[in-house]
Structure 1
Amino acid sequence: MTTWLPDIKKGNGPLYVRLADQMEEAIMVGHLVDGAKLPPQRNLAFDIGVTIGTISRAYALLHERGLVSGEVGRGTYVLSRKDITAQAANDPVTIGLSGSRPFTAPPGKIRFDSTAAPDIGQSAQLARLMAEIGTECSSEIASYTRSFPDHWYEAGARWLSYGNWRPSPEVIVPTLGAHAGIMAILTAITNPGDRIIFEHMTYSQVSRAVGLVGRRTALVESDGDGIIPEDFERVCVQQHPKVAFIMSSAQNPTLATLPFDRRKAIADIAHKHSVWLIEDNLYGAMDKKEIPLIAELAPDRTFVVDGLSKAVAAGVRGGWVACPPHFAQRVRVAHKMMTGGLPFLLAEICARLVMSGAADEIWQACRREINAREAEARKILAGHDFRSNTDIPFLWLKLPEPWLSATFKNAALNEGVLIDDEDEFKAGRSEKTSHRVRIGFSSPESLNEVTNGLKVIRGLLDNASAGYDSVA
């Protein structure tokens, strides 16, 4: 067993990440040689004066990086350089900017780490539409998109409508999906160095993307009902943010929905401190609680974003933005500069899906499938603490002692199930922990596969100590 010890004073970020980084460096430079056995978690925790939970998270992170292997009763060992290289070359779990999200599921794995619209046979309908467009619009497909027809804007106005709120087609911008729309807004109305407000846990791909374009993140506190208005105002006063990113309904990953009084308070605070609001309604539109959007309360300061990826088909990467008055052209130009432009085929198929009613029909079929899968999750996970919504394709699961989020994720992976731990959703460097994981159940091919994956999760929850030791 190695006598090497990390220095907890070195490095940046959460302590468990610093420990993992130092161990990775020690492996790469040879201080931890091939086959070396890492100290038992309790021993190392005692030796360097930290909690066993911190060591567990560091070891789990090393597992995720493909640097060590662990076996029940044997401990954790450094993989050989040959094994590390081979694993990196052959492992289809490709690491993206998020640091942990796989782009393709390895063979035999159940994918609970995605919330794309379930496959209910919509590809046949999409194929027919594409064939129609190819026949009717061959010249438009063969060239650049130089002008947008009116029905592209009308489709966006129709899809974004929610409750009593319906945007005018004149304020709509068709986009390459919700994420591209959000980034177009941010680059249109902010400058490098401006601060953007995010909840501690949210759709973190946006917060990471704003860092790439030179904007800074400001974190705001939230609870079971979403953003806390008093802390929102504190951040506005102290950090002078330019924009706040808000998922007002069915927040990802917490499923929190802001009550009306909080929406009104946030709208008032945004007016008071001249903060722009981006209201991501991607999941909210599926929830259908129809609490008025913040855009209804602050129409002059709120951009609304939605798309087809969760309700119709993720492969149809289309969406729309509804802008405050006089901002549509600015966002349209920013979107073109950021993305290179909107392909005619994509925009046309999205518009036809919406205008023909096919998008709503597909969503209703997806909704029935999601309802069945969510009901199955509630049945199998009964007795455990989780938040779910009948119309939303994921749940937010509280882990019992002694599980940590990253450790549970790794244990699930060892059992053939891919899930997202809480770090996947952290918008910035935060010590806040919820000891939860997100279980997305829309990607498996069948309800039977969902059932099998949920039974694995249930088994880990009910046998916490045994599963915990497997990654020690």
Structure 2
Amino acid sequence: MTNWRPDLTGSGPLYQRLADSIEADIDRGIIGAGAKLPPQRDLAYDIGATVGTVGRAYQLLRERGLVSGEVGRGTFVLAQHAEGKPELHAPDIGMEGTRGVDVPRGKLRFDSTAAPDVGQGAIVADVLSRAAQDYPHEISSYTRDFPDRWHEAGARWLSRNAFAPTADAVVPTLGTHAAVMAAIAALTTPGDYVAFEHLTYSQISRSAGLIGRRVALVASDDEGIDPADFERVCAQKHPRMIFLMPTAQNPTLVTLSASRREAVARIAREYNVVLIEDDLYGHLTDDPTPLLAEYAPERTIVAGGLSKSVAAGIRGGWLACPPAYRHRIRVAHKMITGGMPFLLAEVNSRLVLSGQAAQIRMSAIAEIQARIAIVRDTLAGFSFKSHDNVPFVWLTLPDPWLSGTFKNACLEHGVLIDDEDEFKAGRSEQVFHGVRFGISQPRHHRDVAEGVAVIRRLLDEGRAGYDSFS
């Protein structure tokens, strides 16, 4: 590359123009796969810039997935496929994030936030039996037609505050996760960027990677996603979508203010980005903040379901979307999941339309509140975030604890929790020194108290109470 010079014409910061020029030459094949970019000091001299400016440009290229840096060797261009985007490699799926595929036995499950057991099994069993008796033929066959009541149930369940989707905007899905993935599969193509916060429900970003989408990370602060950084990512990486949990965000429990929602909607409209609003935990809260969909209805997909407030095992989910997206998303959902099973869809719709789902939700909230009270009492004096109605806690670790070390310490003392890496949507250098633990899965209050007491004891003792020589 001794004769190569970047084209720095145009407007904008020099580091951004430099990164854009290198990306354009990679796309055109001028800079080939495996090529070593000029050393930062040499390129800085050639273009009359500072080493810091070139370093920022190279960092942008790394964020875009175009180059990799090797300490002591330099910066190299990654392999490209025919369309000029980085060659896509299947990620390692041996681990479900930082969790093992199989759950260790004999441990207290503080690593799940499914709805607590409030006796809904008996209600579901009754509804299930009656549905099987009423529709034996449909159960024996594949589902090809969705009855209106399934859409009406979704419209009712997804309605919150002033957001009230019509039945013809709803797609029944196999849970909220499947709803989001169907939207990503339908409205993006392999190689497209989907934006995520650094910490989020990372199962979506990992699943998106499995189907060839790239991840763009957007910064957040104590008030949620940073609109300015979202705009920067939109200008630099042109994501097609962004996945957000504006209310009771998982794992940080931040609820995005109305002003930030309005700013996100404005930026998404300006850069033609589709908004995916996961409102799964929002339905447990009584937060009055308007949904993102109220600010940008023409580009927002709202997803929700029954897993956190009614029952996770019945895979009830729906999404509401602009009419132009509905058919594509429904087809994508069928392709990804194999199709909706009649029995589950019917049970879920009956639970919602009968009002039983709402009743179970109220019982679940009461149970969550009792368990959160145990946490607040036991962990008094430590820094953590909680919500009366939401079944998890975001705990900020005191020095000298590291997130992964604290998780391992809890495991050795019989409690399964999640470290911060479980929620990182991509390779992030940010360190949050936090862990998340859920309180809905232990069977009894005494089990909740026992698990939280373990966490408290480890916090009190510090690293002196735990060491690993393995």
Q: TM-score normalised by the shorter chain: which range applies?
A: 0.7 to 0.9
397, 400, 404: which is aligned to 1:406?
A: 404
Q: CA shift at 1:107, angstroms?
A: 3.5
1:431 correspondence with 2:429: yes
1:467 corresponds in structure 2 to 465
Q: Distance in 2 between matches of 1:207 and 1:99?
A: 11
Q: Distance in 2 between matches of 1:263 and 1:118?
A: 31
Q: Distance in 1 between matches of 2:389 and 2:141?
A: 39
- For residues 72-120 of structure 1, give each alpha carbon's deviation from its aligned partner in whole angstroms, at most 9, with x where no partner exists: xxxxxxxxxxxxxxxxxxxxxxx95424324554343111000000011
Q: CA shift at 1:469, angstroms?
A: 2.7
145, 166, 169: which is aligned to 2:167?
A: 169
2:306 corresponds in structure 1 to 308
1:212 correspondence with 2:210: yes
126, 132, 136: which is aligned to 2:124?
A: 126
1:145 corresponds in structure 2 to 143
Q: Distance in 2 between matches of 1:107 and 1:435?
A: 27
Q: CA shift at 1:470, angstroms?
A: 4.2
1:233 correspondence with 2:231: yes
1:340 corresponds in structure 2 to 338
**C-alpha contact 2:95 2:101 (8 A) present in aligned 1:** no
Q: CA shift at 1:228, angstroms?
A: 0.6
2:329 corresponds in structure 1 to 331
Q: CA shift at 1:209, angstroms?
A: 0.7
1:398/1:367 CA distance change after superposition, 3 Å = same
2:157 corresponds in structure 1 to 159
Q: Distance in 2 between matches of 1:384 and 1:253?
A: 17
Q: CA shift at 1:359, angstroms?
A: 0.3
* 1:250 match: secondary structure: coil
Q: Distance in 1 between matches of 2:199 and 2:94?
A: 18
Q: Which amino acid aligns with 2:164?
A: R
**C-alpha contact 2:142 2:341 (8 A) present in aligned 1:** yes
Normalising by structure 1, we get a TM-score of: 0.79
1:443 correspondence with 2:441: yes
Q: Distance in 2 between matches of 1:411 and 1:432?
A: 22
1:8 corresponds in structure 2 to none
Q: CA shift at 1:330, angstroms?
A: 1.0
**C-alpha contact 2:150 2:349 (8 A) present in aligned 1:** yes
Once the two structures are overlaid, the 10-residue window that deviates more, 462-471 or 141-150, is 462-471
Q: Distance in 2 between matches of 1:264 and 1:405?
A: 33
1:29 corresponds in structure 2 to none
Q: Distance in 1 between matches of 2:215 and 2:105?
A: 37
Q: Distance in 1 between matches of 2:308 and 2:327?
A: 27
1:106 correspondence with 2:137: no
Q: Which amino acid aligns with 2:366?
A: R
1:259 corresponds in structure 2 to 257
1:270 correspondence with 2:271: no
- For residues 126-165 of structure 1, give each alpha carbon's deviation from its aligned partner in whole angstroms, at most 9, with x where no partner exists: 0000110111111110111110110000000000001011
**C-alpha contact 1:171 1:326 (8 A) present in aligned 2:** no
**C-alpha contact 1:196 1:241 (8 A) present in aligned 2:** yes
1:153/1:428 CA distance change after superposition, 3 Å = same
Q: Distance in 2 between matches of 1:163 and 1:420?
A: 32
**C-alpha contact 1:407 1:471 (8 A) present in aligned 2:** no
Q: Which amino acid aligns with 1:123?
A: G
1:471/1:390 CA distance change after superposition, 3 Å = farther
Q: Distance in 2 between matches of 1:468 and 1:451?
A: 21
**C-alpha contact 1:304 1:323 (8 A) present in aligned 2:** yes
260, 281, 284: which is aligned to 2:282?
A: 284
1:186 corresponds in structure 2 to 184
Q: Distance in 1 between matches of 2:315 and 2:465?
A: 38
Q: Distance in 1 between matches of 2:246 and 2:152?
A: 24
* 2:236 match: secondary structure: helix
Percent of residue pairs identical: 58
Q: Distance in 2 between matches of 1:465 and 1:183?
A: 40
**C-alpha contact 1:407 1:468 (8 A) present in aligned 2:** no
**C-alpha contact 1:160 1:167 (8 A) present in aligned 2:** yes
- For residues 320-362 of structure 1, give each alpha carbon's deviation from its aligned partner in whole angstroms, at most 9, with x where no partner exists: 0101122111110110111110000010000000000000010
Q: Distance in 2 between matches of 1:379 and 1:102?
A: 31
2:318 corresponds in structure 1 to 320
Q: Which amino acid aligns with 1:440?
A: G
Q: Distance in 2 between matches of 1:101 and 1:305?
A: 25
**C-alpha contact 1:178 1:306 (8 A) present in aligned 2:** yes
* 1:326 match: secondary structure: helix
2:361 corresponds in structure 1 to 363
**C-alpha contact 1:311 1:362 (8 A) present in aligned 2:** yes
Normalising by structure 2, we get a TM-score of: 0.79
- Equivalenced residue count is 378
* 1:434 match: secondary structure: coil
Q: Please identify runs of 4+ aligned residues in structure 1 that moved more than 2 A.
A: 95-100, 102-108, 467-472
Gapped regions of structure 1 (runs ≥ 5):
1-94
